[in-house]
Amino acid sequence: MMWGGNTTTYTIMLRARESGLLAVASASGGVGVGAKVLWARAGVGAVAVQAYANPSLGVAILEKLVMGMSSADAVKTVLSGDAYREYRQVAVLKADGDAFTYTGSRAPPLTSEYVDGNAICIGNALKDSSIPEEMCKYITSQSISNVKSLVKALINSLIIGHRLGGSRRGDKSIAILVVDETQCNGGYDRVVDVRVDYSSKPFNAVIKTLRLLNLW
């Protein structure tokens, strides 16, 4: 299933080793990126499925990670049954640091991927192929000791991507997801789940929300 159209998205993932936090954040030229692209489970891993997104794939990959599959095997197993896999772009970062990226041959160009230690960045329909590398280099240079510092690093990383040109369609939506296994309560592990589904100035909108949550 092709599902919701081209999300023209760039995504950053980070495993904050010292704090145990796992995070993923995206900016997109599409509407409602948070409902389509981002998945994470504390102690397991983070998943992004973008370009021509299909949320069911993110759920399926996360389930394979729970079963103990490597990031590469989880992606390859799920995409083997996807007739539109060449339209997908996928990133997985497990809680143990195991990472994998996949970009199909028909994902909207420019596409780019970058893995740097505990961080991954992928993007499609980019104006500049250096965006993932510059975002990863920034976030891995930051000192992250708590949720607030992590959120700031994620947003500032996305802002770097935006200033380098971002999506060819312009950036219209943003989502941030942070999970923490030390704060699970009845299976709910989302420490931060903030979305701007559509705005002409999504970075201003998300920072305004984060200030209300005392996360900026």
Domains belonging to the chain, first-starting first, are: 9-212 (3.60.20.10)
Q: How does pLDDT run across 94-135, given as a tens digit for each residue?
A: 999 999 999 999 999 999 999 998 999 999 999 999 999 999
pTM of the complete model:
0.94
What pLDDT, in 10s, does the model give residues 41-84?
999 999 999 999 999 999 999 999 999 999 999 999 999 999 99
* Residue 26: HSE in the Cβ half-sphere, 13 Å Cα cutoff: 36
